[in-house]
Amino acid sequence: MKSLKLLGLSTVVAITALTGCKPKGTETAVSGDAAQKVYVAPGKYDEFYNFVSGGFNGQVNVYGLPSGRLLKVLPVFSVNPENGYGYSEETKPMLETSHGFIPWDDQHHLSLSQTNAEVDGRWLFANANNTPRVARIDLKTFKTVEILELPNSAGNHSSPFLTENTEYVVAGTRFAVPMDDENGDVPIDSFKENFKGVLSFIGIDQQTGGMDLSFQIEAPGINFDLSHAGKKKSGDWFFFSCYNSEKANTLLEVNASQNDKDFIMAVNWKKAAELVKAGKGRKVVTEYAHNTWDESTHSATSTMKKEVVVLSVEDMKEAMFMIPCPKSPHGCDVDPTGEYIIGSGKLAALIPVFSFDKMIKAIADKNFAGEYDGVQVIKYEAALHGEVQKPGLGPLHTEFDGQGNAYTSMFVSSEVVKWNIKDLKVLDRQPTFYSVGHLMIPGGDSGKPFGKYLVAYNKITKDRYLPTGPELAQSAQLYDISGDKMKLLLDFPTFGEPHYAQALPGEMISKNQVKFFKIADNKHPYATKGEAESKVVREGNKVHVYMTSIRSHFAPDNIEGIRVGDEVYFHVTNLEQDWDVPHGFAIKGNQNAELLIMPGETCTLKWVPKKPGMYPMYCTDFCSALHQEMQGYVRVSPAGSNTPLIYSLNNKKDNAQSPVKEGETK
């Protein structure tokens, strides 16, 4: 009996002890004043805009920091029924590619435009990973204003990274593929002969931000993962992390993890640009779409380009080098001084830090270990500043606080590790919840980080929020990094699977916001600049409705004489000249989407009625006390009927203001 009691007691003690040993959760990781530090009182603004990649939803999400509040979702590579992006006639061309209309993509990385290696708040660049594209978002309007497709590429992963004065956006291909002017219909096991890894350099117009595919480099057929431009003294260089130096093409998880070292490729982009100017490189015939948004016509145009200049390894002899990097490097990050290049070997048990000065000296001294597919390989030790020992497991990405410290995300061990760049000592480590991928410090990849916060973007979210079925939101975690030790302040759910993010002080963008488009400057070919100009015009089986919207009615609000088989184009101009007064437009049975028309803008919705009847149309965005009254009817008659084409606004007999007008026929 006694022994039984003893057994029972010891079991209780053991269980208590064991549960006490359970890893600590966030409850203990958050200190008392965390709530105060992230509380943004009503009427106050957040300190930073945080632009977060939408991952597989193809969008960009804008959050406020430190509150973690979602401010806006920007459609970039995906159609968006909320505002008709990709559905309206004006925005459809934005999603054109050489493969036709592609309404989705996988959006990974973001880059804010920079001047003198500092973020400047002009534009945000975004990549499409699947069908290689790079987009530019204008931060005055938060609209996607340009999308450029990339030829000779597949899996546009190491993109879009920018030089310190936004001279070039770079885009390295993740998948090696045969060149577009060569036959792609080849056996996959001819990988080593036929597959190339192409790096694209997109020139940026300094005034307009306009993108132009200036040149490409036909590099060896390895996988380019991530990249960053140098800055200041290393400003002429670009660094790309490469994996699969084995050039395997099957079961890569094993076969691409054989070599102890892969590479960081260093490219002197300035020299490359000079080589192109000097007439080097071959012209490759291909096809890629260049889509641009014109703010004065409120319309996009898509043009197909046919040619690109491609430099070969041979051309780049003096301007392209490989640095060995342990093992399968992922992140490739350059510190704010431009001296240190950090390669994160995601399968390595250390973090290699390279020195730019040493790299230049090694090149000058021809301190090479050999060649890889014609590219000189610098000796590892010759370029190495040092290694961070035992930093954690699975280092992926590194950001900087501008105080000489680096912060590396550890995917496998789920933590953020702070270390000193010069002496390579680990200073602090904090757990993440869980499996952190990218991390971000506002301005953390520029020459001037705002080292106050760090956000970790986590891939796994179990137990963070109320469950939502088998699929859970991803999470972002905000740390205060202003002290010696990182402090967890907040976590908040995010869309898609967030990858890289960017942030900058709110004021840099908020002061330049466009509040409405001036109606006088509207050069849309179907703009209606006043109710008196509204009309309905038939051209064969196409009917153009020149419509206006203003609180709280459409003009016209009644249309008759549409026939089954007609293509009806509603060109709706929002006549408002006031901030935050968009009007919506929707019609019953329409198979695409609705419109959300900004003040002073013209948008076009195409509608092909399938059967006769009465079709209500209405405003979808609550605009005023009389929003619900903002509606009208379209009467659709059978094909071939002779119902006269008429339209009107407010034509009630007892309250006549406007006569019923006859539609024009051209």
Partner 1 sequence: MKTQSLNNLTRVLLIVCGIALIISIFVPLWSIYLEAPQYPEGLAMYLWASKITGEYEIINGLNHYIGMKTIHPEDFWEFTVLPYALGFFAALCLLAAFLNKKMWLYITAVLFMIFGVAFMVDFWLWEYDYGHNLDPNAAIVVPGMSYQPPLIGFKQLLNFGAYSYPNIGGGIMFGVALILAILAFIEFRKPKSA
Q: Which residues bind partner 1 (CB under 8 A)?
A: 550-551, 576-579, 624-626, 655
Q: Please, what's the b/e burial string for 228-264 (b: 16 or more CB within 10 A of its CB; e: otherwise)?
A: bbbbeebbbbbbbbbbbbebbbeeeeeebbeeebbbb
Strands 646-648 and 558-563: antiparallel
Q: Judged by CB, which is closer to partner 1: 345, or 599? A: 599
Q: Judged by CB, which is closer to partner 1: 189, or 578? A: 578
> 10 Å Cβ neighbour count for 652?
9
Q: Cβ 201 to partner 1, closest distance in Å?
A: 44
* E strand or H helix that includes residue 203: strand 197-204
Region of residue 17 (left: phi > 0; alpha: psi -120 to 50; beta: else): alpha
Instruction: Quote the CA–CA distance of 609 and 586 in Å, as a whole number.
Output: 13
Does residue 475 sit in helix, strand or coil? strand
Q: Judged by CB, which is closer to partner 1: 39, or 579? A: 579
Cβ neighbors of 254 (< 8 A, separation 6 or more) are none
Strands 375-378 and 320-326: parallel
Task: Name the residue among 388, 401, 404 with its Cα closest to residue 344.
Answer: 388
Q: Judged by CB, which is closer to partner 1: 420, or 552? A: 552
Q: Residue 44 has what DSSP assignment?
A: P
Q: Cβ 625 to partner 1, closest distance in Å?
A: 7
Q: Cβ 577 to partner 1, closest distance in Å?
A: 6
Q: Residue 23 has what DSSP assignment?
A: P
Cβ neighbors of 103 (< 8 A, separation 6 or more) are 78, 79, 86, 95
Q: Residue 566 has what DSSP assignment?
A: -
Q: Judged by CB, which is closer to partner 1: 550, or 568? A: 550
Q: Cβ 580 to partner 1, closest distance in Å?
A: 9
Strands 395-400 and 453-458: unpaired
> From edge to edge, which strands make up the β-sheet containing 320-326?
223-229, 237-243, 261-268, 320-326, 375-378, 368-372
Q: Cβ 595 to partner 1, closest distance in Å?
A: 20
Q: Judged by CB, which is closer to partner 1: 242, or 597? A: 597
Instruction: Quote the CA–CA distance of 135 and 144 in Å, as a whole number.
Output: 7
Q: Cβ 469 to partner 1, closest distance in Å?
A: 38
Q: Judged by CB, which is closer to partner 1: 21, or 625? A: 625
Q: Cβ 41 to partner 1, closest distance in Å?
A: 15
Q: Cβ 578 to partner 1, closest distance in Å?
A: 5
Cβ neighbors of 617 (< 8 A, separation 6 or more) are 554, 570, 585, 586, 587, 588, 631, 632, 633, 634
Q: Judged by CB, which is closer to partner 1: 138, or 576? A: 576
Q: Judged by CB, which is closer to partner 1: 575, or 595? A: 575
Q: Cβ 610 to partner 1, closest distance in Å?
A: 36
Q: Cβ 296 to partner 1, closest distance in Å?
A: 21
Q: Judged by CB, which is closer to partner 1: 471, or 654? A: 654
